[in-house]
Chain A
Amino acid sequence: MPNLIKDRAIAIDRWTLLKDATGPEVLTAIPGKNLIVPLRFWQDYAIELEGYAGDIGIWLDSDETVSEIGDLLSEFPLIALNFPVFADGRSYSNARELRERFAYAGEIRAIGDVLRDQLYYMSRCGFDAFSLRHDQDPDRCIAALDDFTTGYQATVAEPIPLFRRR
């Protein structure tokens, strides 16, 4: 079953997620891909990554913060934020910070324990791509993005809070 939703549609995944990398040798083992690498890998092997033929994205675990990449964000076409378990809510704050504080315009992808019932909130916080857990039905997940007609808050999806629109 396809498991990537991007911009509200089922999409073909052109990225390879490097879950846990031990060393830079992996770069020669899978050359020429578009790689999503862990933050730590990017910090440790910046030089090796520079010579890599393929796009590089970074994924942050829920206990890592966006400010660790800070000014270099615009170099990455994709940032993935991990949900180790769906009830770990830290990546919601990271997504908003990426969009609102750092004005990040690339793809923000949810990875990990990504389930239908959380997608609406994720999309409001700035996620525009969802790498669904494999048992999730992608069509029903797309429908879940419209679970609510509107919301009260100022969010990435609707930067003007309802009280300024009423």
Chain B
Amino acid sequence: MYRYDGYDHQMLRDRVAQFRDQTDRFLAGELSDAEFLPLRLQNGLYIQRLAPMIRIAIPYGMLSSRQLRKLAFIARHFDKGYAHLTTRQNIQYNWPHLEDVPDLLAQLAEVEMHAIQTSGNCIRNTTTDQFAGVAVDELEDSRAYCEIIRQWSTFHPEFAYLPRKFKIAVCGTAIDQAATQVHDIGIYIVPGPTGETGFRILAGGGLGRTPVIGQEIFEFVEKPHLLTALEAILRVYNREGRRDNKYKARIKILVRETGVDVFREKVHEEWRRIKDSALTLTDVEIARCKAFFKDPAYAELTDKPEALTKQLAEDVLFSGWHQQNVRAHKRPGYAIVTVCMKETGVAPGDVTDQQLEHIADLAERYSFGEVRISHQQNIILADVRQEQLAELYCELKSQALASANLGLLTDIICCPGGDFCALANAKSIPIAESIQRHFHDHDELTDIGEANINISGCMNACGHHHVGNIGILGVDKKGAEFYQISLGGSSKNVASLGKIMGPAFAQEEIPAVIGKIIEVYKVNRESGEKFIDTYKRIGMAPFKETVYAKSD
């Protein structure tokens, strides 16, 4: 993974000192709330319902064991012993004290981590496929480009006060795991006319109040021109994005109101001016960044070792977990393991300090000392020997980390909701739990197969409910919490936005409603059909009919 040099370290030290001074001035009354607000947000700090919340960047999801242990330390010393994985490959703490935050940041800086631009109206953490570098279907590892974008966007002096937040995702695989099309900028690594890979760049995607799929701004950009292309998009947005209404300030609204053709032309006009400037990437820089993401020292192994076949045959629980949570790896004899952080009774994405320590140990023993965080709020050990999978499974089980529900109905993506978040209209964690309790039978879950539920506690859509096969949105109805259900969303290659089924439900009705929806699917599915495919074939009507049928 990327390692800091003297420049990176110096910038982080400068940032911690700057924020320490800003915090001191705020506490001394020299900075107003309004003036401190963007400064603290650009250091990941929110003032929440119960305490400040700090969001720490995990650039494109990569973490080392050393960093995991530091996160565990922070959970113990600055929080109540746990942390929360977010839906954008970040990690949050809900209980730090404002005056301790500079020290917390100094601790993070020791392990090359920070909270820079994890909030505020600026360019946020760049996200990617959690299987980058190990996926079977990968055209090119996206992480070097993510790192290049991370550096370009970090402390970018021109784009620190954008009209609104700005999120970039990069995808280098055939199957899009990064929800690329619903980002302000979505970048696909694609083969170019000469065979050399480059980038197809979309803009104007996003969720939130007005969900939109991004539109193509650059059909193909050669690698050296990546940053100038991004800078051109950002400049047009910075200048022309709406600032009169925060709900219309995202780039998707600008693209829509300008018209994509006019917007594209404005971007290209800007790009022509800066295209061959000093910002043009050099081969040396691309090679330098790629070198940080070279393959680890893989052993020469073969697929499906005998021991594994035997263990799978003997242990039905292991076999169930293997089926759901283990993915094919590009190297023979290796596998990608996803540790599903969706144990029933635990808020989706919550992880304790002990679990973090444990995962750090497991990463060192089984996966070259690195893990990845996914936007589905899970943790990935990306380079596990197939012959060690059974052993790893036992280790995970001992820490309640062996949930075998990856990609199944109970692998719910969920925001912190009204229990923690000051923006939320409704709670979301208890909804997730009630669904998980309703669908407690593993055989039933595997029979249902791939079907994802996304829950957001408000319109801001941190739980990405628009792209859930089943989306649940908390709404406020005259002071009471209700839940609107949508069907048919997907963040995959053929991205789609869910449609609202009908009137909202009370909290206690939700598990039964999801039950009815699943029943409709089971009755109607054809052999091998996933939930989303059945929905696309039969449409909303049968679901609606059953769910809203008057009982006799």
A: residues with CB less than 8 A from B are 65, 86-90, 92-93, 96, 100-101, 115, 117-118, 120-122, 124-125, 147-155, 159-164, 166
Question: When the two chains form the complex, which single residue of B39, B155, B278 contacts A148, counting CB atoms closer than 8 Å?
Answer: B155
Among B121, B273, B278, the one with the most A-chain Cβ atoms within 10 Å of its Cβ is B278
Q: Which has the most chain B C-beta neighbours within 10 Å: A92, A96, A100, A147?
A: A92
Contacts of A154 in B (CB 8 A): 277-279
In the complex, A93→B39 CA distance in Å? 20
Smallest CB–CB gap between B266 and chain A, Å?
12
Interface presence of B97 (CB below 8 A): no
**A160→B278 CA distance, assembly (Å):** 6
A117-B22, A163-B281 given; A155·B161 CB < 8 A:
no
- Is B238's beta carbon under 8 Å from chain A? yes
Least CB distance from A66 to B in Å reads 10
Can you report 9 A-B residue pairs in the complex whose CB atoms are below 8 A from each other?
Answer: A87-B121, A89-B158, A149-B10, A150-B10, A150-B11, A153-B279, A161-B278, A163-B148, A166-B288
Partner of B38, one of A87, A125, A149: A87
Top 10 A-B pairs, shortest CB-CB distance = A89-B161, A121-B157, A124-B157, A163-B285, A152-B151, A148-B14, A92-B158, A154-B279, A154-B278, A147-B18
Interfacial residues of chain B within 112-136, with CB under 8 A of chain A in the complex: 121
B residues adjacent to A (C-beta < 8 A): 5, 7, 10-11, 14-15, 18, 22, 31, 35, 38-39, 121, 148, 151-152, 154-163, 235, 238-239, 243, 273-274, 277-279, 281-282, 285, 288
Q: A100-B277, A121-B158 are in contact. List 6 more A-B contacts (CB 8 A).
A: A87-B161, A96-B158, A117-B22, A148-B15, A152-B154, A166-B285
Partner of A151, one of B22, B31, B157, B274: B157
Q: Is the pair B152, A152 in contact by a Cβ cutoff of 8 Å?
A: yes
Query: B14–A153 contact, CB under 8 A?
Result: no
Contact of B235 among A87, A93, A148 (CB under 8 A): A93
> Are A93 and B11 in touch, CB under 8 angstroms?
no
Q: How far is the CA of A149 from the CA of B38 in the complex (A)?
A: 22
For B152, list chain A residues within 8 Å (CB).
152-153, 161
Cβ distance A12 to chain B, nearest Cβ, rounded Å? 26
Closest-by-CB residue of B relative to A113 is B35
C-alpha spacing A145/B274, complex, angstroms? 26
Given A150-B7, A154-B277, A162-B151, does the pair A89, B162 have CB atoms closer than 8 Å? yes
Known contacts A89-B161, A101-B273, A151-B11; A163 and B151 CB within 8 A of each other: yes
| Residues of the A chain whose Cβ atoms lie less than 8 Å from the Cβ of B238 | 89-90, 92-93
A contact residues around B159 at 8 Å (CB): 89, 92
User: Which one of A86, A118, A163 lies within 8 Å of B282 (CB-CB)?
Assistant: A163
User: In whole angstroms, how far apart are the Cα atoms of A86 and B157 in the complex?
Assistant: 14
Most chain A CB neighbours (cut-off 10 Å) among B152, B158, B159, B161: B158
Q: How far is the CA of A100 from the CA of B22 in the complex (A)?
A: 31
Nearest Cβ in chain A — how far from B14, in angstroms?
5
Asked whether A162 and B235 contact (CB < 8 A) given A88-B161, A154-B277, the answer is: no
Q: Which of A65, A153, A162 sits near B7, CB closer than 8 Å?
A: A162
Contact call A115/B35, Cβ cutoff below 8 A? yes
Bound together, the chains give a CA A155 to CA B156 distance in angstroms of 9
Query: Residue of B at shortest CB range from A155?
Result: B157
User: Which residues of A have CB within 8 Å of B160?
Assistant: 89, 92, 118, 121
Nearest CB of B to A82, in Å: 14
Query: Considering the chains assembled together, what is the distance between the CA atoms of A118 and B39 in angstroms?
Result: 10
Out of A86, A87, A100, A148, name the residue touching B11 (CB < 8 Å): A148
Bound complex: CA A89 to CA B408 (Å): 44
Residue contact B155 to A152, C-beta cutoff 8 Å:
yes
Q: Is there an interface contact between A164 and B154, defined as CB atoms closer than 8 Å?
A: no
User: In the complex, which of the residues B7, B15, B121, B157 has the most CB atoms of chain A within 10 Å of its own CB atom?
Assistant: B157
B158 near A125 with CB under 8 A, answer yes
Q: How far is the CA of A87 from the CA of B163 in the complex (A)?
A: 9
Q: How far is A150 from B13 in the complex, measured between Cα atoms in Å?
A: 11
Q: Which residues of B are found within 8 Å of A125, using beta-carbon distances?
A: 157-158
List chain A residues, Cβ under 8 A from B39: 117
> Is B35 touching A159 in the complex (CB atoms < 8 A)?
no
Q: Quick one: closest B residue to A121, CB to CB?
A: B157
User: A86 with B154: in contact, given A101-B273, A149-B10 (CB under 8 Å)?
Assistant: no
Q: Are A153 and B157 in contact (CB under 8 A)?
A: yes
- Distance of A149 from chain B, by nearest CB (Å): 5
Chain A's nearest CB lies how many Å from the CB of B151? 4
Give chain A residues whose Cβ lies under 8 Å from the Cβ of B18.
Answer: 147-148
Check A153/B156 contact, CB under 8 A, given A148-B11, A163-B281, A163-B282.
yes
Which chain B residues border A121 with CB–CB below 8 Å? 155, 157-158, 160
Contacting pair A65 B239 (CB below 8 A): yes
Task: Name the CB-closest residue of A to B289.
Answer: A163
